[in-house]
């Protein structure tokens, strides 16, 4: 009787082991994680502003086509107080954007300790341009 019981327990253990192995073999356990591909996000375009060119996280530069400094504002909008200016040819980092107002597309930038919002351009010209990484 002991022998039959032992064989039954061994058979049941073997059966459970085989089932467990089949379940384990069918799961992606140990398979490297592959994230879903990133979907491109549409670029915000303002109806009365030029097409956007700056990229958040990269650098930009005040164009040399105008010798006036570029105003940096507290918030996006010409109504917002000017908190500083950036000279033509100066490089900055684009932190955030884009925000659309009636005539301009705005980006939050940083240059040294100065951080605020700039307009990218008007319908007739760009005030800033992308600047190559480096």
pLDDT of residue 132: 86
pLDDT of residue 70: 98
pLDDT of residue 8: 59
pLDDT of residue 102: 87
Q: CB under 8 Å to 11, separation ≥6 — which residues?
A: none
Q: Report the predicted TM-score, pTM, of the whole model to 2 decimal places.
A: 0.67
CATH number of 90's domain: 2.30.30.40
pLDDT of residue 59: 95
Backbone angles phi, psi at 50, to 5 degrees: -70, 160
User: Consecutive sets of 10 residues in the chain, 134 residues long: mean pLDDT of each?
Assistant: 58 60 53 56 71 93 96 97 98 93 94 97 94 80
One domain for residues 23 and 75: no
Nearest-angstrom CA–CA distance, 97 and 109:
9
In a domain, 54, yes or no: no
Nearest-angstrom CA–CA distance, 49 and 56:
18
One domain for residues 68 and 7: no
In a domain, 83, yes or no: yes
In a domain, 37, yes or no: no
In a domain, 74, yes or no: yes
For 110, the domain range is 59-131
At 126 the three-state DSSP class reads: strand
Using an 8 Å Cβ cutoff, are 128 and 105 in contact? no
pLDDT of residue 40: 47
pLDDT of residue 47: 84
In a domain, 47, yes or no: no
Scored b (16 or more CB within 10 A) or e, 77-115 reads eeebeeebebeeebebebeebbbbbeebbbbbbebeeeb
One domain for residues 19 and 63: no
Domain tally, the chain: 2
Q: Which two tokens stand for residue 102?
A: 């009636």
């Amino acid at each position: 009787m002991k022998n039959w019981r032992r064989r039954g327990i061994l058979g049941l253990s073997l059966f459970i082991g085989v089932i467990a192995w089949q379940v384990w073999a069918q799961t992606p356990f140990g398979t490297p994680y592959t994230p879903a591909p990133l979907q491109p996000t549409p670029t915000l375009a303002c109806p009365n502003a030029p097409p956007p060119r700056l990229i958040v996280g990269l650098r930009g530069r005040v164009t040399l086509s105008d010798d006036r400094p570029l105003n940096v504002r507290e918030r996006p909008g010409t109504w917002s107080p000017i908190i500083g200016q950036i000279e033509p040819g100066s490089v900055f980092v684009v932190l955030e954007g884009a925000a659309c107002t009636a005539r301009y597309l705005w980006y939050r930038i940083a240059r040294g300790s100065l951080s605020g919002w700039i307009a990218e351009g008007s319908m007739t010209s760009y005030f800033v341009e992308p600047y190559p990484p480096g």
